[in-house]
Structure 1
Amino acid sequence: MSTVETNVQVIQKVYEAFGRGDVPAVLAYVDENATWINPYGQGRFPGQWGKPCRGHAEIVEFFRALNEAVEVRGFNPFEIVAQDSKVVVLIKWNGLVRQTGRPFDVLLVHIWTLRNEKVVDYIGLDDATAYPF
């Protein structure tokens, strides 16, 4: 199996773990010093969801802030493009903003960089204005 195929499998396992709400299983595929950022969410998303992260402790806080802010109803990766150490995934996700009870329906682009079957960098791109906070 090629490195690209292995990287795609790792990211698929990350999404499976996320779908179960299993953050420790997600972190099993993430390097201890990984960077994790949603640049369009900075200053717009609550807590660590809207801040750059480095390492497992901050990534756990990212997931905590995300869970406190939204109720995920659908998370559907529908296209994966991979080359060398990069895996790019297009995702439709939807749910409710807990604070307002209002729905959201957003296209996400996740850009993953892997080394030795571990995520070393994650960039999440979405329209931060699409969430009705």
Structure 2
Amino acid sequence: MAEHSPTVTKRLYEALDRCDLEALVGLCDPAVEVVAPPSLPWACGTRTGLVGAVDCFTRAFGMLERTRFSVTEMRPTGDDRMTVVGNWWGRVRDTGREFDVRFVHLWTFRHGMVVKAEVIIDSAGILRAFEPGTGP
């Protein structure tokens, strides 16, 4: 494992908690690939390059009023790879409803930059928070 991976990973989650697009993009290689479930409301699927990453993050941040990632495990899984497990809490802007779901993120780094981000998440839990209802 490259020494920079834990430091970069920590900075990624700090930026995600703040919905800080500039900081996130600053940690990504120009050829970054983001792979997220297409079932999510912001419908990322697979996006490549900084334009694709910006599109995915902008869509998600635009739909969420607040967000917080609670990392429970951060484990190196080979040279320049990190697996992160935790919970993701968020509040949907349009419904005011909240979700709290488990996630697994697989990060691949090259020269201290993210070259691939893979998201495994409880999409159903997020989708429920987007359903119109009587409140949070």
- When the two structures are superposed, what TM-score results if normalisation uses the length of structure 1? 0.85
Extract unaligned runs of 5+ from structure 1: none
Q: 1:60-90, CA deviations, whole angstroms, 9 ceiling, x for partnerless residues?
A: 1111110122233432112100031210111
Matching residue's letter, 2:124? T
Q: CA RMSD in A?
A: 1.7
- When the two structures are superposed, what TM-score results if normalisation uses the length of structure 2? 0.83
Asked whether the equivalents of residues 74 and 83 of structure 2 are also in contact (C-alpha less than 8 Å), the reply is: yes
User: Where has structure 1 moved over 4 Å in runs of 4 or more?
Assistant: none
Extract unaligned runs of 5+ from structure 2: 131-136
Matching residue's letter, 2:72? F
Q: 1:1-60, CA deviations, whole angstroms, 9 ceiling, x for partnerless residues?
A: x61x3111111112222223321121121110110011xx21x2234x432110111111
Asked whether the equivalents of residues 15 and 21 of structure 2 are also in contact (C-alpha less than 8 Å), the reply is: yes
The share of aligned pairs that are identical, in percent, is 29
- The match for 2:25 is 27
